[in-house]
């Protein structure tokens, strides 16, 4: 029997066409005894790294290729013979993709005018009647052209074969067999039909002849092929396979960019030089022996692994940001090193953490290190543009993100092509969580009114299960850059992003990791913007420049504040869940914050790890270590695994994993929900631990905890970098609350709380808030000298809903020249149009010039542009008109409508008498309530949250004039009173008050909608469903 | 003059509800694009469930279950308003649809006939209730005031300018139909009611507001008049013929019928219209009328052809009682597009056009008796055919298929059979439970007939074939 290599095969990276993953294809091809398998996705190499990985795993040669249709020309399959051919193919695809918008391509005849050496071509003839395209291809490819013979049990295969062979003879092209494979096995026929229907935006029933007539386009058994094709056509495929000796990883020639090293230096020497220069700024008193040792060790390791350029590249970007006054902070595996500290990439003194550099930059895995750098969110674009400028668009591009099907999207698409109506699609996709990768359970479906046993739903669910995890399209990574010395399109095809002026390579993060390409993450973080604004304000008002590093460490009042959960607005530990944890954990030092940041994660809660840590920390549980070796690993978290790094160390120490294997485990941990595949690790881990004398129960428990990390397991290195920002923001909130609140509002939108909530919090901390006023306000909120040396916060014009920044800037500019005389002077000099005037009047910003907001509105309406002719002539005075003054309630509504907050009484204080009559207590009056007492409260609903992890509980945050209260609504109550829960703006809750470790919850027993009391008030609840 | 405004606050909803028997069940009217469905109106039972206009459908579904959703159809609503205008035309010769969801009637001239006003109003309300439209009625001294007062009142009768002004003065400023930005501006100036505005010096308003605001206020107060478009009843054809004697045979109806149809043709010609469908009512001495519907595929106005069709229908009919009167009503009167005939085209007298033949057959045998064969894009042969009302639009598939498909496949013995081509494999149809997996062969019988036969995928080579069709 002749051998066979499949040379025309699509994976699921031919979106909405290929119905099998590369792994499935290679597994099947190996099992069928193929000699090699080509992956020829349509004008893309986005799936080729995955194919390469699959090929490596099953040990079957991969041939790199691509199928494409030439515009007004033939369809062909190109196969890569050697590295030159690969570069040509990347260039060709790049050209075709760059010509048109994201998601489509145009290959033109003229593209083939350049040399095509290194590429083999298979002509997929549309008809046997027209030899012209074949002649054209023959001229271009010469003896490197074959005629593809697809036989799929069509109408008359025998005739078709004869016709094709005749055509081949006529043109003197060798024919060969190939399968136009769209799936690994016949069983994917239904999914493939669905994908066709999705692609054509129709239903399967209406797709008609656009569906394939049968399921033959799979990897067929060689006996079947032998029955269809003459042996020569099969043998030809193996000859081609033998010719294609290109190996992806070995043969792509990636180099780090060179220009970051000045002439006369080697990269290593330059890196050392920069490090030495950084030492005095970090340690003015000189570097300690320990740090020097660490530095030398790190530099040696970097040199050995040839990663100098990587560190230099990151340093270069950070240097640019610093010069522009853009705050940034590195994090990630290699960021917490002495090298990064002295280079200024991170502000985190590595001696503050116990992280070992080598863990993340292991000699064994020759993988690029990973440093993510966060920049101020509103200035990141400047950094992106710098990178494009510095390396040129042909050498720098963003990495791709492969959007994959989650359950809800998959069920929607499958349901649609099976003809379900839109409202049912919505209901079905609601049955899946937002990011869930599991088909909804039958119970959930019954609840939503579906019959999971109906044949239609059965089909929907089965196909959804198959489609989940499939790639849907490529999108751009928000800030992951690939930079190379040689043009990028010789390494990987580049295409247009949805955003103008952005280009994206066809590979994602994992692909780059596997191929060893350098990636730098330029990310955005709102808190950095807020901190930079804090430092700016601090400099103005306190006469000194602060920095993250210069903030005093180990500040007692700061930790006391954190332990009180007085953390509205700070970084990371401001959420409801975090605030509930703080009084129990009571952080006392920096490392406690590192733990605090990591501990409230979906992962650890699922894995049942939070409580053991808390119990141990509060001496309610004995701290025990299974062995001395593991004590070293787990001591800093009291024996409880909290970080990915600990899991890796555990695998190394207790189960004899190599660092490389441990890293593999970490990757699988992150992906097991999507791809499964933890089983080999479980066996390996359990066996290793048993061998080292640990008992089975312990091993099993550890493994369950590892699974619990899921996709959320937090690396210690990230937690440490985050904790630094947490500490900095807490220190500022504690010592400079006015500066902090001001900077936070000016950086909005960011974080968890609205400006209204931040301002209320500030007022509760006795900070004077001054209203928006055209005589004093700038665009941003600003600080003014207040009573007793304190700073008062002046609300900025940015808070006036709908007011434009350029108007505000112009207003402030002309005010500098001369204060405004009256409303007319303001409107005319600041060039305000009617809309802007009205907004200022409604905001109450004209109070000083025109009186209350009704009068102000009356005044501004009368301002008319002065005609030059009458310049200097005072307009004739008008009859004075007395307008009614707004009531307190009217002012309140107007305040909320315009600036989203009020400096007058809180709405609930206006309603307090009525609420008291209804038996509601204020949040202040809860202090003398005992644990377990039944009470009734009322408040504005400012948050509703239903965490996926908390089995059907809804957390509602109520706000009144004194503060906030957390309400817990159990599932059955939520079901019974859904209308009130979802709809109420002002809610009355009766229930039982519970205290524990300084945390207070109200367990709801009955909800009441009091919203009619507030009609017209615009307080937006922030929902996080 | 006196004007009545009949405001129809839930016209769209009523248009739906009045046609439903289960109007007391929760029902919402929805609108908006498929990805953002909005509740437009709710009936009282739905309101009791907490559903409100303006909610997204998703919110509504989150709040309650068990309500019916009906797609809002603006055209149908418009139709209902036309119907109401026609109804109102009986009460006044000046009816205006100037404002959406409202009828304006000049009533002073009609008071002699229907008055006094309280009786007139009661009559209007009674009929509207019977028709199934909720409504508010206000009388005022000018149409604009009547319309705006209806925003806040029902049953108000401001029967002179003085009373009208007083009623207006108490109105909230945002209910007066002012331009939205002006209404907002007034309320942001603390001016909540019209009387507050009316006390302001006229020139201060002129300085602050565009002229149209003052114009609108003047119209409200009747200081300036507004030109209204008045409703005119639609064009339709209706003709009734009293026969004066009982006709017992349909043949005897042909003569009067011919007259009516000639009238219709004349009417159509005058309007340059054709008729797509008309109804013939045979009125009996007692009992309901017998109705004959005559429908055409294309608009037509030739009297001879129309009569031919009507006669076809009439001749099939067995009269259940004697006919007293004959009535013809035609409402679908689209513009007539004549067939582009060539100047000297010589259509032989005997030769009938296909359309005429088809219409004749339909007239004689009934609409359902004449069908067309449609091609459906489906790989499964048994699903690739369908009898259809309209000519099929889909092109047949690429592969040759037998012209004659058997009702059901039948087994075909292998002896004497030659397999000319195949197997052509068809695997399709899993989505509707009718999945087929077959290998098809082109076969030739000993008698030389060519057929199309299949075997289930996976069956052995000597198992019998199933014949599904013959090639011509």
Q: Does the N-terminal peptide bond of residue B9 adopt cis geometry, omega within 30 degrees of 0?
A: no
Lowest mean pLDDT among A633-637, A801-805, B72-76: B72-76
Strand partners, B469: B405, B452
Report the residue of chain A nearest B421, measured CA to CA: A156
- What is the dihedral sign for C-alpha B249, B251, B255, B261? positive
Look at the alpha carbons of A791, A792, A797, A798 in this order and tell me if their dihedral is positive or negative. Answer: positive
Token pair of B144 as six digits: 């604009």
DSSP A921: B
- The ipTM assigned to this model is 0.71
* Between A901 and A840, residue with greater pLDDT: A840
Q: Are A1006 and A989 in contact (CB under 8 A)?
A: yes
pLDDT band of residue A747 (cuts 50, 70, 90) is: very high
Residue position matching structure tokens 């409880």: A640
Per-residue confidence at B388, pLDDT binned at 50, 70, 90? Answer: low
Which is more confident, A354 or A652? A652
CA dihedral B441, B442, B445, B451 (to 10 degrees): 100
For all residues of chain B together, what is the average pLDDT? Answer: 82
* Contact call for B189 and A883, based on CB within 8 A: yes
Degrees to nearest 5, angle at CA A712 with A368 and A634: 80
Candidates A19, A157, A191, A214, partner chain B, best to mutate (most B CBs within 10 A): A214
Is residue A130 domain-shared with residue A242, that is, in the same domain?
yes
Percent of chain A with pLDDT over 70: 92
Average pLDDT estimate for A194-218: 92
**Mean pLDDT, rounded, for A881-901:** 85
| Residues A67 and A178 placed together within one structural domain of the fold | yes
**Predicted local confidence at residue B348, as pLDDT:** 43
Q: In three state form, how does the secondary structure of B336-358 look?
A: CCCCCCCCCCCCCCCCCCHHHHH
Beta strands in A866-998 (DSSP E): 934-945, 954-960, 963-969, 986-996
Higher pLDDT, A638 or A434: A638
Inter-chain contact A209–B424, Cβ cutoff 8 Å? no
Evaluated on CA atoms A871, A874, A879, A881, the torsion sign reads: positive
Three-class DSSP category at A844:
coil
Q: Report the pLDDT value the prediction gives residue B226, as an integer from 0 to 100.
A: 85
Nearest CB neighbour to B427, from listed A159, A215, A427: A215
Q: What is the distance between the alpha carbons of residues B152 and B176, in angstroms, rounded to a whole number?
A: 9
Looking at the complex, report in whole angstroms how far the Cα of residue A1014 sits from the nearest Cα belonging to chain B. Answer: 18
User: Hey, what are A802's tokens?
Assistant: 């709908």
Q: With pLDDT > 90 as the criterion, what percentage of chain A qualifies?
A: 49
Q: pLDDT grade, residue A2 (50/70/90)?
A: low
CATH code, A918: 2.40.50.140
Sign of the CA dihedral with A636 first, then A642, A644, and A648 last? positive
Inter-CA distances, A589 with A201, A560, A581, Å: 58, 11, 16
Which residues between 429 and 448 in chain B have a beta carbon less than 8 angstroms from any beta carbon of chain A? 430-433, 437, 439, 442
Cβ contacts of B21 within 8 Å, gap of 6 or more: none
> Chain A neighbours among B 207-226 (CB < 8 Å)?
207-209
Residue at A384 is within a domain:
no
Does residue A393 lie in a domain region? no
Does A220 share its domain with A272? no
Ranges of CATH 3.30.70.270 domains, chain B: 1-25+67-234
A418 contacts B379? CB cut-off 8 A: no
How does pLDDT run across A104-129, given as a tens digit for each residue?
Answer: 999 999 999 988 999 999 999 988 88
Encode pLDDT of A957-975 as tens digits: 898 888 888 898 888 888 8
Residue with tokens 């960019």: A257
Q: Give the model confidence (pLDDT) of A382-398 as tens digits.
A: 999 999 899 988 899 99
pLDDT of residue B368: 67
> Mean pLDDT lowest for which of A379-383, B182-186, B247-251?
B247-251
Which CATH fold topology does B237-332 show? Dna Ligase; domain 1 (3.30.1490)
| pLDDT of the residue at A1017 | 47
Angle between helices A157-171 and A132-141 (to 10 degrees): 50
Q: Give ranges for CATH 3.30.1490.100 in chain B.
A: 237-332
Let me know if residue A559 belongs to a domain. Answer: no
Range of the domain at A285: 253-376
Report phi then psi at A456, rounded to 5. Answer: -65, -50
- Domain closes at, from A899, A929, A951: A899
Residues A61 and A120 in one domain: yes
Give the integer Cα–Cα distance in Å for B381 and B396. 11
The verdict on a CB contact (< 8 Å) between A982 and B59 is yes
Residue A949 DSSP code: T
Strands A36-39 vs A62-69: parallel, antiparallel or unpaired: parallel
Q: Do residues A870 and A928 both lie within one domain?
A: no
- Of residues B327 and B359, more confidence is placed in B327
Cα A972 to Cα A656, A932, A934, B63: the distances in Å are 48, 20, 19, 15
pLDDT in tens, A163-178: 999 999 999 999 999 9
Between A159 and B35, residue with greater pLDDT: A159
**Which run of H or E residues covers position A135?**
helix A132-141
Q: How far is CA B38 from the centre of its chain?
A: 22
- For residue B49, what is the nearest residue in chain A, using CA coordinates? A979
Whether residue A801 lies within 8 A of chain B, CB to CB, comes out as: no
Residue A689 and residue A661 share a domain: yes
How many residues are recorded in chain A?
A: 1025
Whether A115 and A208 share a structural domain: yes
Q: Are residues A61 and A37 in the same domain?
A: yes
Which pLDDT score, from 0 to 100, does residue A842 have? Answer: 92
CB A835 within 8 Å of CB A809: no
- B188 vs chain A: nearest CA distance in angstroms? 6
pLDDT tens-digit readout, B94-130: 889 999 899 999 999 888 888 799 999 999 999 888 8
A514-527 pLDDT, tens digit per residue, is 888 888 889 999 99
pLDDT at residue A1020, rounded to an integer: 36
Assess if residue A985 is contained within a domain: yes
Arithmetic mean of pLDDT, B43-58? 85
Check whether residue A83 and residue A163 sit in a common domain. yes
**Alpha-helix runs per DSSP H in A736-866:** 737-746, 755-764, 805-817, 823-829, 834-843, 847-850, 853-862
What does the longest C-alpha to C-alpha distance in chain B come to? 109
How far apart (Å, rounded) are the C-alpha atoms in residues A490 and B35? 42
Give residue-wise pLDDT tens across range A139-167.
999 999 999 999 999 888 899 999 999 99
Question: Does the pLDDT value for residue A950 go beyond 60?
Answer: no
CA gap A511, A471 in Å, rounded: 14
Alpha-helix runs per DSSP H in A765-804: none
Range B199-203 average pLDDT: 89
For residue A136, give Cα distances in angstroms to A122, A142, A145, A173.
13, 10, 11, 12
Is the CB of residue A717 less than 8 Å from the CB of residue A332?
A: yes
Q: Please, which residues have CB within 8 angstroms of residue A396's CB and are 6 or more apart in sequence? A: A387, A388, A390, A481, A482, A483, A488
Mean pLDDT of A361-383: 79
**Total of domains in chain A:** 6
Residue A422: closest CA among B433, B63, B58 = B58
How far is residue A680 CA from its own chain's centroid?
Answer: 29
Q: Which residues of B touch A459 (CB under 8 A)?
A: 430-431
pLDDT at A368: 67
Averaged over A555-562, what is the pLDDT? Answer: 96
The number of C-beta contacts closer than 8 angstroms across A and B is: 120
CA distance A766 to A281: 38
The verdict on A890 and A915 lying in the same domain is: no
> Which backbone phi and psi does A365 adopt, to 5 degrees?
-95, 120
DSSP SS3 for B137: strand
Q: For strand A934-945 and strand A1022-1024, is the pairing parallel, antiparallel, or unpaired?
A: parallel
Is A338 a domain residue?
Answer: yes
Q: A603: pLDDT confidence band, cut at 50, 70 and 90? A: very low
CA dihedral A733, A738, A741, A746 (to 10 degrees): -130
Candidate from A395-399, A509-513, A780-784, B77-81 with smallest mean pLDDT: B77-81
Cβ atoms of A795 and A819 closer than 8 Å: no
Neighbours of B118 (CB within 10 A): 11
Residue B295 CA to residue A872 CA, distance in Å, equals: 79
| Distance (Å, whole) CA B251 – CA A890 | 81
Q: Identify whether residues A27 and A138 lie together within a single domain.
A: yes
Please indicate, yes or no, whether the overall pTM of this predicted structure exceeds 0.90.
no
Peptide bond into B260 cis (omega under 30): no
**Residues sharing a CB contact under 8 Å with residue A232, sequence separation 6 or more, in sequence order:** none
Whichever domain contains A853, its CATH number is: 1.10.150
Report yes or no on A330 lying in a domain: yes
DSSP state of A449: T
Is it the case that residue A873 has pLDDT exceeding 70?
no
A671 sits in which H/E element: helix A659-675
Confidence of residue B162 (pLDDT cuts 50, 70, 90): very high
Which percentage of chain B shows pLDDT scores above 90? 24
B172 touches chain A (CB under 8 A): no
A285: in domain: yes
Last residue of a domain, one of A447, A468, A489: A468
Residue among A507, A443, A534, A519 at smallest CA distance from A479: A519
Out of B50, B425, B428, closest to residue A216 by CB? B425
- Say whether residue A857 is in contact with chain B using an 8 A CB cutoff: yes
In a domain, A589, yes or no: no
Same-domain check for residues A843 and A814:
yes
| Crossing angle for the helix pair A189-199 and A407-417, to the nearest 10 degrees | 80
Q: Extract long-range pairs of B86-89: CB within 8 Å, 24+ residues apart.
A: B86/B231, B86/B233, B86/B234, B87/B127, B87/B131, B88/B6, B88/B231, B89/B231, B89/B233
- With beta carbons under 8 A apart, name residues in chain B contacting A861: 185, 189, 207-209
Say which range, A334-348, A356-370, A635-649, has the weakest mean pLDDT.
A356-370
Q: Which of A204, A230, A251 marks a domain boundary?
A: A251
Contact between A455 and B433 using a beta-carbon 8 Å cutoff: yes
Structurally, at CATH architecture level, domain B1-25+67-234 sits in 2-Layer Sandwich (3.30)
């Amino acid at each position: 029997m002749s051998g066979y290599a499949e040379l025309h095969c699509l994976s699921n990276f031919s979106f909405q066409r290929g119905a099998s993953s590369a792994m499935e294809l290679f597994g099947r091809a190996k099992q069928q005894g193929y000699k090699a398998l080509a992956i020829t996705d349509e004008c893309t190499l986005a799936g080729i790294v995955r194919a390469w990985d699959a090929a490596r795993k099953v040990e079957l040669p991969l041939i790199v290729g691509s199928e494409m249709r030439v515009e007004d020309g033939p369809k062909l399959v190109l196969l890569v013979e050697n590295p030159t051919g690969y570069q040509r193919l990347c260039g060709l695809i790049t050209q075709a993709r760059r010509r048109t918008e994201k998601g489509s391509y145009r290959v033109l005849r003229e593209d083939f005018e350049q040399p095509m050496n290194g590429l083999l071509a298979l002509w997929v003839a549309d008809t046997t009647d027209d030899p012209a395209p074949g002649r054209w291809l023959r001229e271009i490819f010469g003896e490197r052209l074959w005629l593809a013979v697809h036989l799929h049990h069509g109408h008359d295969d025998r005739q078709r074969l004869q016709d094709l062979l005749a055509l081949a003879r006529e043109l003197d092209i060798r024919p060969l067999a190939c399968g136009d494979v769209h799936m690994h096995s016949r069983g994917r026929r239904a999914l493939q039909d669905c994908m066709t229907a999705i692609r054509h935006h129709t239903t399967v029933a209406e797709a008609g002849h656009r569906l394939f007539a049968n399921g033959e386009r799979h990897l067929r058994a060689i006996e079947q092929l032998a029955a269809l094709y003459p042996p020569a056509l099969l043998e030809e495929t193996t000859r081609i396979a033998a010719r294609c000796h290109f190996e992806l990883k070995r043969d792509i020639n990636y180099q780090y960019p060179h220009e970051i090293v000045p002439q006369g230096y080697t990269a290593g020497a330059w890196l050392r030089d920069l490090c030495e220069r950084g030492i005095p700024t970090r340690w003015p008193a000189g570097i300690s022996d320990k740090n020097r040792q660490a530095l030398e060790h790190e530099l040696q390791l970097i040199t050995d692994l040839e990663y100098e350029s990587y560190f230099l590249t990151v340093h270069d970007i950070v240097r640019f940001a610093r010069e522009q006054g853009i705050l940034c902070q590195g994090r990630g595996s290699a960021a917490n090193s002495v090298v990064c500290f002295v280079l200024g990439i991170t502000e985190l003194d590595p001696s503050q953490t116990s992280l070992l550099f080598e863990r993340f930059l292991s000699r064994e895995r020759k993988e690029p290190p990973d440093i993510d750098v966060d920049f101020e969110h509103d200035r990141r674009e400047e950094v992106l543009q710098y990178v494009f400028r510095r390396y040129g668009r042909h050498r720098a591009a963003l990495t791709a993100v492969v959007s994959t099907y989650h359950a809800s999207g998959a069920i929607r698409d499958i349901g649609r092509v099976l003809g379900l109506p839109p409202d049912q699609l919505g209901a079905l996709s609601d049955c899946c969580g937002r990011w869930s990768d599991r088909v909804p359970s039958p119970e959930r479906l019954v609840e939503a009114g579906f019959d999971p046993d109906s044949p239609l739903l059965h089909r929907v669910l089965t196909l959804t299960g198959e489609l989940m995890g499939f790639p849907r399209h490529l999108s751009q990574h928000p800030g992951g850059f690939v930079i190379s010395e040689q043009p990028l399109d010789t390494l990987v095809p580049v295409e247009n992003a949805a955003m103008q002026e952005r280009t994206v390579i066809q590979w994602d993060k994992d692909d780059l990791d596997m191929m060893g390409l350098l990636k730098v993450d330029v990310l955005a973080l709102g808190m950095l913007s807020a901190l930079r604004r804090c430092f700016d304000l601090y400099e103005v008002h306190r006469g000194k420049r602060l920095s993250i590093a210069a903030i005093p460490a180990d500040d007692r009042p700061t930790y006391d504040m954190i332990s009180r959960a007085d953390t509205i607005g700070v970084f990371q530990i401001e959420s409801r869940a975090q605030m509930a944890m703080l009084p129990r954990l009571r952080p006392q030092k920096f490392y406690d914050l590192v733990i605090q940041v990591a501990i409230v994660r979906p992962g650890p809660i699922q894995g049942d790890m939070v409580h053991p840590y808390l119990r141990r920390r509060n001496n309610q549980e004995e701290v025990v270590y299974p062995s001395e070796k593991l004590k070293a690993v787990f001591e800093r978290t009291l024996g409880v695994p909290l970080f990915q790094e600990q899991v890796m160390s555990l695998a190394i120490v207790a189960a004899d994993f190599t660092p490389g294997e441990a890293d593999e485990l970490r990757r699988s941990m992150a992906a097991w929900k999507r791809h499964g595949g933890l089983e080999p690790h479980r066996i390996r881990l359990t066996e290793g631990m048993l061998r080292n004398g640990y008992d089975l129960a312990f091993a099993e428990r550890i493994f369950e905890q590892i699974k619990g990390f899921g996709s959320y397991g937090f690396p210690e290195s990230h937690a440490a970098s985050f904790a630094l920002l947490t500490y900095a923001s807490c220190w500022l909130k504690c010592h400079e609350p006015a500066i902090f609140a001001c900077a936070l509002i000016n950086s909005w939108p960011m974080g968890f709380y609205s400006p209204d909530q931040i301002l209320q919090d500030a007022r509760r901390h006795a900070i004077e808030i001054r209203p928006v006023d055209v005589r004093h306000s700038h665009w941003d909120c600003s600080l003014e000298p207040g009573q007793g040396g304190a700073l008062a916060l002046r609300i900025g014009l940015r808070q006036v809903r709908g007011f434009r920044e350029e108007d505000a800037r112009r207003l402030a500019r002309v005010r500098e020249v001369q204060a405004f005389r009256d409303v007319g002077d303001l409107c005319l000099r600041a060039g305000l149009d009617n809309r802007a005037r009205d907004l200022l009047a409604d905001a109450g910003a004209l109070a000083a010039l025109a009186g209350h907001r009704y009068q102000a509105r009356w005044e501004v309406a009368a301002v008319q542009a002065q005609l030059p002719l009458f310049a200097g002539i005072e307009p004739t005075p008008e009859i004075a008109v007395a307008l009614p003054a707004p009531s307190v309630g009217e002012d309140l509504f107007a305040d909320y409508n315009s600036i989203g907050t009020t400096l007058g009484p809180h709405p609930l204080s206006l309603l307090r008498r009525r609420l008291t009559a209804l038996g509601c207590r204020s949040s202040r009056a809860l202090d003398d309530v005992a644990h377990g007492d039944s009470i009734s409260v009322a408040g504005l609903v400012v948050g509703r949250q239903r965490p996926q992890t908390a089995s059907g509980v809804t957390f509602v945050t109520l706000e009144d004039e004194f503060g906030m209260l957390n309400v817990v609504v159990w599932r059955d109550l939520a079901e019974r009173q859904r209308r009130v829960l979802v709809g109420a703006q002002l809610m009355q809750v009766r229930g039982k008050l519970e205290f524990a470790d300084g945390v207070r919850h109200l367990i709801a027993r009955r909800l009441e909608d009091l919203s009619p009391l507030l009609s017209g008030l615009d307080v937006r609840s922030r929902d996080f469903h | 003059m006196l004007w009545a405004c009949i405001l129809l606050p839930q016209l769209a909803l009523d248009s739906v509800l009045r046609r439903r028997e289960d109007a007391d069940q929760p029902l919402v009217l929805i609108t908006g694009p498929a990805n953002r469905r909005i509740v437009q109106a709710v009936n009282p039972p739905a309101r009791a469930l907490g559903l409100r206009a303006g909610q997204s459908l998703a919110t509504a579904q989150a709040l309650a279950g068990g309500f019916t959703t009906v797609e809002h159809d603006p055209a149908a609503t418009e139709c209902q308003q036309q119907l109401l205008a026609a109804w109102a035309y009986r009460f006044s010769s000046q009816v205006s649809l100037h404002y959406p969801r409202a009828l304006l009637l000049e009533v002073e001239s009609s008071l002699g006939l229907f008055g006094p006003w309280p009786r007139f109003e009661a009559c209007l309300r009674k009929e509207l209730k019977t028709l199934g439209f909720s409504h508010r009625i206000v009388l005022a001294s000018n149409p604009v005031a009547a319309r705006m007062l209806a925003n806040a009142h029902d049953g108000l009768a401001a029967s002179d300018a003085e009373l009208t002004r007083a009623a207006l003065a108490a109105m909230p400023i945002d209910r007066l139909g002012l331009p939205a930005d002006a209404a907002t501006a007034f309320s942001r100036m603390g001016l909540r009611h019209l009387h507050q505005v009316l006390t302001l010096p006229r020139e201060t308003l002129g300085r602050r507001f565009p002229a149209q605001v003052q114009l609108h206020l003047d119209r409200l107060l009747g200081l300036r008049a507004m030109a209204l478009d008045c409703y005119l009843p639609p064009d339709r054809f209706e003709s009734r013929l009293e026969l004066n004697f009982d006709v017992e045979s349909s043949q005897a109806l042909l003569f009067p019928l011919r007259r009516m149809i000639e009238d219709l043709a004349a009417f159509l010609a005058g309007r340059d219209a054709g008729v797509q469908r008309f109804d013939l009512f045979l009125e009996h001495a007692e009992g309901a009328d017998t109705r004959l519907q005559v429908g055409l595929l294309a608009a037509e106005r030739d009297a001879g052809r129309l009569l031919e069709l009507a006669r076809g229908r009439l001749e099939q009919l067995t009269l259940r009682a004697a006919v007293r009167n004959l009535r013809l009503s035609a409402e679908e009167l689209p513009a007539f597009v004549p067939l582009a005939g060539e100047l000297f085209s010589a259509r032989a007298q005997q030769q009938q056009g296909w359309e005429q033949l088809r219409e004749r057959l339909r007239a004689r045998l009934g609409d359902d008796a004449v069908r067309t064969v449609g091609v459906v894009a489906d790989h499964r042969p048994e699903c690739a055919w369908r009898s259809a009302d309209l000519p099929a639009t889909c092109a047949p598939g690429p592969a040759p298929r037998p012209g004659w498909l058997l009702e059901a496949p039948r087994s075909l013995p292998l002896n004497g059979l030659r397999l000319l081509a195949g197997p052509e494999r068809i695997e399709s149809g899993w989505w509707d439970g009718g999945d087929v997996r077959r290998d098809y062969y082109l076969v030739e019988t000993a008698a030389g007939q060519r057929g199309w036969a299949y075997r289930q995928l996976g069956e052995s080579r000597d198992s019998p074939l199933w014949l599904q069709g013959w090639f011509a």
